Structure 1
C-alpha cells in the first residue's frame, strides 16, 4: 500500500464512505462576477436544450459557473462564461451519453456519435446532426472558441476533445463488459476522460496569451499539466465515490480499481488514493517552483492557472450539489487540510506516470512548505 498506516486506520474507523479533509496548498480565489456567470450558463443550457430536461434540470443546479470562476479568478469574463458553458456541455455528454444513456454500454455506437460531434467542433458549419441539441450547443461553443483563440489554440482544443472522446469510448468498453481495468490503465485513461486537458487551452485564452509551442510542449511543462489532471481526477473520484457506488449502476473509480487490483477494503483503497494524490500534488508544486525560476511571464501565468484549476476542483467538489447529494448526504469534508498524508519523494508504483519524478533535478527536492501557502 502507498498510504501511511495511520490514515488508513482513521478512515476505517469512521466508515468506508468517509472522505478526510484533503490537502489544499493552493489558496482559494473566485472571479467577483461568479453569480452572473453561473446564471448565464443556466440560461445557455436551457436555450440550447443541453441534455434531457431531467438532466439539464440537475446540471443547472450544480453551480458550474462558480467552478469556472474559480479556475480563472482574474480572467476575462467572456472566456470564463465560455468555460462554464463548455463544462456543462461536457457533463451533458458524459452523463447523458456515457453514464446514463444506452450509448455508454455500446462503445461502437458511442464512437460513431462522438466522431460526428468532433466534426462539428472542427467545422461548426458542417451540415450534419441538425436535429441534435448537443451538436447545436457545440457549434456555439466552437465559434466562441475561435473568437478568443489563435488557430493553433483552437486546433489543440479539438485535439484534446478527441482525446477525451477516445477515453470515454475506452470506458464504455469496460462498462459494456462489466470489467475493471488495472490501476496503470485506469491512470492513463483518467488523464483524459476527466476532460481536464480540454480545459487547458482556455487557461491561456482567459488571460489573452498563447504559449510558445516549444515552451508548452516541453516535457516538464506537459508533465505539470498531467499532474494537475491526476490530482483533479483523483479528487473527483474521492468526492464522487458516495454518489457513484450507491447508484447501483456500473461505475469506474480509483477506489474501485484499487479494491479490485489489491484486494483491499474500501477504507484502505480510499486512504491509498488520498496518499497518491498527495504525493503527486507535492511533486507538482516542486516542479512548478523549478519551472517558474526560469519561466517568462506567460509560462508563469499558465503554471499559476494549473494550480488554480486544482484548487477550483477541490472547492467546487465539496460544495456542489453534484457531489453533496442532499437526498442521500455524502460524508464529504467541509474544510481542507494544511498537511499531506504522504510526504515521500519516491515515484508512485504506476508505470505510466513514473517518468514524472525524473523531470525534477534532485537538488530541488526541498520542503514543499518553503514554497507554498498552507
Structure 2
C-alpha cells in the first residue's frame, strides 16, 4: 500500500463550462439508477451521491439534453459494472468468469432483443441505454459505441488477471490498456450525437484525429489515477494506477512517482493543445467541434474528480487541489519513452521550432505550419 500523497494543482488551460440544465440531468440520473436498480443498494447510493450527472453536463455544456442524460446514465452504469463486478465483486479476481459475464452483457448491447438476462439489472439498464442510443445516434455511431464497450470489457479482464495474480504490469502495457479500461472511448460517439453531427470517415479515421482522441484518453485516465490515488490505496487492497506502475517501473518512491506521473501527463497535455490547434486550422467545422468537445471532456473530468465525494472521500479526506495551474511542469517537445504512444509526437510538424511561440491558453492564436497537411487535401 502506497503512502498518503498531496496532489498539487494540475495543468489545465482548458475552458470550464457546464450545461444550464445540469441540476435536472443530475436528478434524472439518480432516478434512472433507482428505476433499474443498478448495483447493490449501498453501491447505488454511493454512485448517486457522486454527481455523475453533473460530470456529463460538463462534458457537453451546449449539447442536447437527451443525449447528455444517456451519457450520464451510461457512466453511472459503467461505474456499476466497474465497482460491482470488476473491483469489488467476487468475480473481479476470476478473469474467466468475468469474461463470461461481460460477454453476455456485450451481447445485450449488440442485440438488445435477445432473450437473455431478463431479470439482470445491469442488462436491463444496458437495454434501455441501447434503445435510447438508437433514437438519437446514427447506425455508425451506435456501432462504434457498442464496439467501444467491447474494448472496455477486454481491458478490464486484462486488469482482472493482474488483480488475480497481485502483479503490476509494465509501463508500456499499462499506458496502452489504460486508454481503454477507463471507458473514455465509449463517450466519443456521444460527443457527435450531442451536437447533431457525424464525423466523416476521412476525418474521424485519420491518424492524427485518432491520435488526439488517444491523447484525451491518456490525460483523462492519468488524471484519474493521480486524483483517485487516495481513494484507491486507502482500502488496503489491490489497486492499479499510473503512480504505482511508475514506482515499479523506475524503482522510485510513490512521491517521486506522483511527480513523474504529473510531468508525463503535462507533456501529453501540451501535445494535445498543439495538435488541437493544428487540426482545427485544417479540419471541417464538425472536426473543430469534436476537438473542442475533447477539451470539454478532459476539463469536465478534472473538475468532477476534485469535487465529487467519490474522490474527495469526506470521511477520510483526500489532499486534492481545488484549483488548476495554467503552465505545465514539463513541456518538453521530446516524445515520452513509451513505445505505445511515442509516435504521437511525429504527427505535429515543426514541434521544436514552434515551442516558444505558442500561447498557454487552449484556443489561443498560434502559428500553424504553412505547408499543406494531408487533411487539407480532402475533397470538399
TM-score of the pair, normalised by structure 2:
0.93
Other structure's SS at 2:282 match: coil
Give the structure 2 partner of residue 33 of structure 1: 21
C-alpha distance in 2 between matches for 1:202 and 1:290? 23
Q: Report matched runs for 1:269-288 at 5 Å.
A: 269-288=257-276
> What per-residue deviation string (whole Å, max 9, x for no partner) do you get for residues 76-100 of structure 1?
0010111000000000000000000
Give the structure 1 partner of residue 46 of structure 2: 58
Give the structure 2 partner of residue 226 of structure 1: 214
- Unaligned 5+ segments in structure 1 are 1-14
> What per-residue deviation string (whole Å, max 9, x for no partner) do you get for residues 331-362 of structure 1?
00011111110010110011100100001111
- Unaligned 5+ segments in structure 2 are 365-380
The counterpart of 1:365, out of the listed 354, 361, 365, is: 354
1:342 is the counterpart of 2:330: yes
Q: Is the 8 A contact 1:25 1:373 kept in 2?
A: no
C-alpha distance in 2 between matches for 1:164 and 1:59? 20
Structure 1 runs of 4+ off > 2 angstroms? 363-368, 370-374
Give the structure 2 partner of residue 253 of structure 1: 241
The counterpart of 1:327, out of the listed 315, 319, 322, is: 315
C-alpha distance in 2 between matches for 1:156 and 1:365? 35
Change (3 A) 1:346 1:326: same
Pairwise CA distance, 1:370: 5.7
The counterpart of 2:154, out of the listed 143, 166, 169, is: 166
Other structure's SS at 2:359 match: helix
Pairwise CA distance, 1:304: 0.4
> What per-residue deviation string (whole Å, max 9, x for no partner) do you get for residues 200-238 of structure 1?
000000001110012101000000000000000000000
Query: Number of aligned pairs?
Result: 360
Q: Is the 8 A contact 1:286 1:365 kept in 2?
A: no
Give the structure 1 partner of residue 86 of structure 2: 98
> What per-residue deviation string (whole Å, max 9, x for no partner) do you get for residues 272-313 of structure 1?
000000000000000010111111110000000000000001
C-alpha distance in 1 between matches for 2:308 and 2:360? 32
The counterpart of 2:305, out of the listed 317, 326, 346, is: 317
Q: Report matched runs for 1:146-157 at 5 Å.
A: 146-157=134-145
Q: Is the 8 A contact 1:282 1:368 kept in 2?
A: no
Give the structure 2 partner of residue 243 of structure 1: 231
- Taking only aligned residues, the RMSD between alpha carbons, in angstroms, comes to 1.2
Pairwise CA distance, 1:176: 0.3
C-alpha distance in 1 between matches for 2:237 and 2:361? 43
C-alpha distance in 2 between matches for 1:373 and 1:189? 30
Pairwise CA distance, 1:262: 1.0
Other structure's SS at 2:75 match: helix
Q: Is the 8 A contact 1:75 1:206 kept in 2?
A: yes
C-alpha distance in 1 between matches for 2:81 and 2:358? 38
Q: Is the 8 A contact 1:235 1:277 kept in 2?
A: yes
Pairwise CA distance, 1:372: 2.4
Pairwise CA distance, 1:263: 1.0
Other structure's SS at 1:307 match: helix
1:176 is the counterpart of 2:146: no
Q: Is the 8 A contact 1:278 1:343 kept in 2?
A: yes
C-alpha distance in 2 between matches for 1:86 and 1:269? 32
Give the structure 1 partner of residue 110 of structure 2: 122
Give the structure 2 partner of residue 107 of structure 1: 95
Pairwise CA distance, 1:373: 6.1
